[in-house]
Chain A
Amino acid sequence: MIWNEKMECMSREDMKNCQSDRLKKLVQYVYERSPFYKNKLDQLGVSPRDIKSIEDIVKLPFTHKDDLRDNYPFGAFSKPVGQIAEIHISSGTTGNPTVVGYSKSDVELWSEVMSRSLCCAGAVPGDMIQVAYGYGLFTGGLGAHYGALNMGVTIIPCSSGQTKRQLKIMQDFKPRILACTPSYSLYMAEEAKELGMDPRDSSWKIGVFGAEPWSENMRQEIEKVWNMSATDIYGLSEIIGPGVAQECHLKRGLHLYSDVFYPEIINEQTNQPAKPGESGVLAVTTLTKEGMPLLRYRTRDIVSLSFEKCACGRTSPRISKIQGRTDDMIIVRGINVFPSQIEHVLLEIEETQPHYQLIVDRKPGGMDELEILVELKEEYFSDEVKKLQAIEHKIQKEIAATLSVEPKVHLVEPKTIARSEGKAKRVIDKRNL
């Protein structure tokens, strides 16, 4: 079913009118309430009166992740913090994390777009969903929760982890829908096999998988092992969390809810809108948000956009699966990892050089593993293995505390990690994404 037929199947012309109305109101709104945006617009010499239709969006300034960090914690909010209903945090490269605030009506919007997404994946009211995304500062768990609550789907709020319990709940309660990261679904399949279960007999028929990049191959693997339909969901906490876009059962791109999240594809080189059909960085304007509305927010995700009507009946534009990132961020087990975060930790650790190499691999079980090779400083070399191991453990602990992902740390000989070969060499991603 289509959750909001009016908005999801609107003609392109009506949609443009709707977007134009909303953009005009939005620019007026942020100009009045957000000193951050008032400054940005004033500097560009743009007044809310200049925005007459959605076409005028190109006159507006971009918003970058750094803008949010520079205004830590609440400086990019358009509402006083007392009127914010919920705060979430995502990790950043250095220093401050990115803080986002949703008002009560933003949370209602989140519920709405997540209901659209769950329906788009194939859920109907009366279904049961097992939410195995983490609940907490990460938006995955609560997003799926709100969407299901809003549309009358019974929720099992498992959060992530405790795989044996997840599997028992699935067997006993028989939920038809599973929401988690794609790698966790594969990990659970391995665990199920070890417990002597046949994953193909599972009750899960629809998967809503996201929060990390995954390939068509991985989709086929998941669909085969669990005998389910695996769909891709896209989102980011700055915009709303999960629920920005979602694949329908046809899986030909992710339907993006452009009545509330206006998408633009920007050419990285020219900073101008890309040609129709061309890939570029996705920029999103939140047309109706109140807590922390964003103008032309650069997601750093590279996608292409298609306006062709989908056979499912939706007219909403579709983005391709994420083709890459404009920064060196990698996503490990749903958590954003910036190599520079690791560099910062190493600089604080006396025994090592700030030279490192990251190796990300996906184990046969489906879980991502992060391995870090670090050069030991010569003067800290010891003939005693326990002292060297203590250094490894120290680095591991410090990095785990910063990244929220426990890496494996390996000491290597000095000057063996390639120097000055640019960022690409720092990260070896062996996953087939």
Chain B
Amino acid sequence: MKLTQISVFLENKKGRLYDATRLLGENNVNIRALTIAESQDFGVLRIVVDNPEKGLEVLKNNKFMASFTDIVAVEVGDDPGGLAHVLKVFADTGINIEYMYAFVEKNTDKALMVFRFDNTDGAIKVLQQNKINVVGKKEIADL
């Protein structure tokens, strides 16, 4: 139940983030979740979209450096301690999180979080063993 994130290199140049989002919009690719990691002189845009293949193609055709990254979208209880409950599972089993961010939208009463692990398959297994719901590609497209 891996999902695909598009990672985009952003030079620290005026309008670069705008260019990337404009391209996706013009090509009818909808952004579901996003985060930007930045260093002093560049950034990495990480997005989950409804149509990753098309999104990547559009960006690459327009000279963006971009690639796919495997991520996992996890349902987290939208109540106090909900996130901690999920994180405890990773802490207990020694699963390392590289980074994480949240979806804006949700289709249940639960919040949706994106996780990037160094060992994606191992993480999914642990989640399933602990009966934590991993969201699939179709559900993301339907959001």
Q: Which residues of A contact B (CB under 8 A)?
A: 376, 378, 381-385, 388-389, 410-416
Contacts and interface: CB of A to CB of B under 8 A. Distances in A.
Interface of B: 5, 7, 9, 11-12, 37-39, 41-42, 44, 46, 63-67, 69, 98-99, 116
B11 A412 contact: yes
Given A381-B7, A383-B5, A383-B46, A410 B65 contact: no
B56 to A, nearest CB: 12
12 contacts: A376-B65, A381-B7, A383-B7, A383-B116, A384-B37, A385-B37, A385-B39, A412-B42, A413-B11, A413-B65, A414-B65, A416-B11
B13 to A, nearest CB: 9
B27 to A, nearest CB: 20
Contacts of A381: 7, 9, 65-67
A381 B65 CA distance: 7
The 4 closest A-B pairs by CB, nearest first: A383-B7, A383-B69, A385-B37, A410-B41
Given A383-B44, A383-B67, 8 more contacts: A376-B9, A381-B7, A384-B99, A385-B37, A389-B39, A412-B42, A414-B63, A414-B65
Contact of A413 (B9, B38, B98): B9
Contacts of A378: 65, 67
Query: Chain B: interface secondary structure?
Result: strand
A367 B7 CA distance: 37
Contacts of B9: 376, 381, 388, 411, 413
A376 B11 CA distance: 11
A410 B98 contact: no
Contacts of B116: 383
Contacts of A388: 9, 39, 42, 44
Nearest to B36: A385
Contacts of A383: 5, 7, 44, 46, 67, 69, 116
A382 B99 CA distance: 13
Contacts of A376: 9, 65
A407 to B, nearest CB: 13
A378 B42 CA distance: 15
B44 A385 contact: yes
A415 B63 contact: yes
A412 B9 CA distance: 9
A194 to B, nearest CB: 23
Nearest to A410: B41
B20 to A, nearest CB: 11
Nearest to A384: B98
A353 to B, nearest CB: 12
Nearest to B16: A413
By CB atoms of chain B within 10 A, which of A383, A414, A416 has the most? Answer: A383
A385 B7 CA distance: 11
Contacts of B7: 381-383
Contacts of B63: 413-416
Nearest to B41: A410
A372 to B, nearest CB: 11
B115 to A, nearest CB: 13
A411 B12 CA distance: 10
Contacts of B67: 378, 381, 383
A410 B42 contact: yes
Contacts of A413: 9, 11, 63-65
Nearest to B70: A383
Contacts of A412: 11, 42
B65 A385 contact: no
Nearest to A409: B41
Nearest to A411: B42
A290 to B, nearest CB: 52
A139 B116 CA distance: 54
Contacts of A382: 7, 44
A410 B43 CA distance: 12
Contacts of A385: 37-39, 44
Contacts of A416: 11, 63
A304 to B, nearest CB: 42
A415 B9 CA distance: 13
Contacts of A411: 9, 41-42
Contacts of A410: 12, 41-42
A78 to B, nearest CB: 50
A378 B8 CA distance: 11
A415 B38 CA distance: 22
A388 B44 CA distance: 10
A416 B11 CA distance: 10
Contacts of B46: 383
A409 to B, nearest CB: 9
A136 B25 CA distance: 60
A24 to B, nearest CB: 60
